Amino acid sequence: MILRTRLALVAAGLTLLGTVLGLSLTYLGLLNLRMASFDGENRLLANLIAEVAVLREDQAVRVPVVVGSYLTGERSNSAAHVYVDGQLIWTGGAVAAPRPLDAERVLSGGGSYTVQEWRVYTMRDEDAGVVVQVGRPLLGLREVLGPFPGLALGVAALVTLLSGALAFWIVGLALAPLRRLSEATERFTSADDVPVIPGRDEPARLARAFAELLKRLKAEREREHRFMAYAAHELRTPLSALRAGLEAVNAGRLTLGPELVQRLHREATRIEGLAQNLLALSSAEVGDASFEQVDLEQIAADAYDRYLPLALEKGLTLELESAPAVVSGDARLLDQALGNLMSNALKATRKGGIVIRTGTAVRDGLSMAFLEVADSGTGIKDQAEGKGLGLRVVRAVAGVHGGWLEFAGANGTQARLWLPPAP
């Protein structure tokens, strides 16, 4: 069952419930109102009879003619009984009334009660031993209100059908934007296919949110395609070199000597480094980072121990000038970024040395932590020259940490990674 039909049925059901409840309360209200009117008239007659009744030695009760006329009138058809010491001494009004009108209240008690389809009011004067009862038949009231339940059911059914049809039409108008949105979703190729729904209601907000979602999905898909193409491009050369060397050994064109093993080892190491960089790049670009309190000084110390043998092998000096610099970041990504900066520095430096620095400094009026690799080579000196997978990873790592990469230096290159300090 479609949502439009369900909502129309719910509206019709609520209308039916409300109509039945309203008509029932109306019926009870009319009945109680008429009962209250009967009680008032009966009470008034009982007071008149009690006040003007004259009890003589012959136990005769005389009431005004107007009271007797009212009791037997066409609009009243009431009956009145007067008891003295439990004995009926006078009756007036309808002769078909039961005697007594209310047998229980003749002996004790008073007030208005319904007895045998009569509404009876009993007034008692204990000192004089006089009891006056005035009653009125309910048959006429039942006949007047009798058709009401059937009429009410017909009205309730008609109102329910009309409200259901009206709700079905109104809900259709309200859901029209959602139908357009659903149709666009089924065939969408870009965020431009999402219909623009004016206003600030839920359908309009949903359309805008869905269009934004499609834009993000499209951008993510394009990023994945670029990443896969970039990964294939970066891995193609080392994998081809490794495969060619292995095929040459297998075909007997080359002998698997120490030199070839070393070359194959370098290609395998290069592939491993590319894989690590690609993994770090993917994690940084999608924001997949595990943030914790990280001291850049410790990361620099670990990198110093790891790269010192490589620097000495090339005849370079490697120094560590570190100070505590605690940031909220991912130690794995930060270590990969520092490793990439060190690899670039080792490639670009022919003589002299490399310095790893950490600490805090004021940058653009803000206190920032930094991680720096400075070399004496002829490497990168401005942002525009910084290309390649390694620096792309460094920039992505800086971005996911809320920082940036900056190049400087007159003699050699200073690559500094600025990061916000931990709170």
Strand pairing of 111-115 and 366-375?
A: unpaired
* Sheet containing 413-419: order of strands: 317-321, 353-363, 366-375, 413-419, 404-408
- Domains of the chain plus CATH, in order, are 3-145 (3.30.450), 202-282 (1.10.287.130), 291-419 (3.30.565.10)
Q: 122 near 95, Cβ under 8 Å? A: no
Q: Can you state the percent helix, strand and coil of the chain, rounding each to 5?
A: 55, 20, 25
In the DSSP assignment, the letter for residue 223 is H
Reported pTM: 0.48
The CA distance from 360 to 319, in Å, is 18
The CA distance from 101 to 93, in Å, is 12
Does the structure show a pLDDT above 80 at 188?
Answer: no
Q: What is the pLDDT of residue 57?
A: 47
292-305 per-position pLDDT tens digit: 999 999 999 999 99
Model confidence band, residue 62 (pLDDT cutoffs 50, 70, 90): low
Q: What is the pLDDT of residue 303?
A: 92
Three-state secondary structure of 70-88: HHCCCCCCCEEEEEECCEE
Highest-confidence range of 77-81, 174-178, 399-403, by mean pLDDT? 399-403
| Mean pLDDT within 68-76 | 64
231-282 per-position pLDDT tens digit: 666 667 677 777 777 777 788 777 777 877 777 777 777 777 767 777 777 7
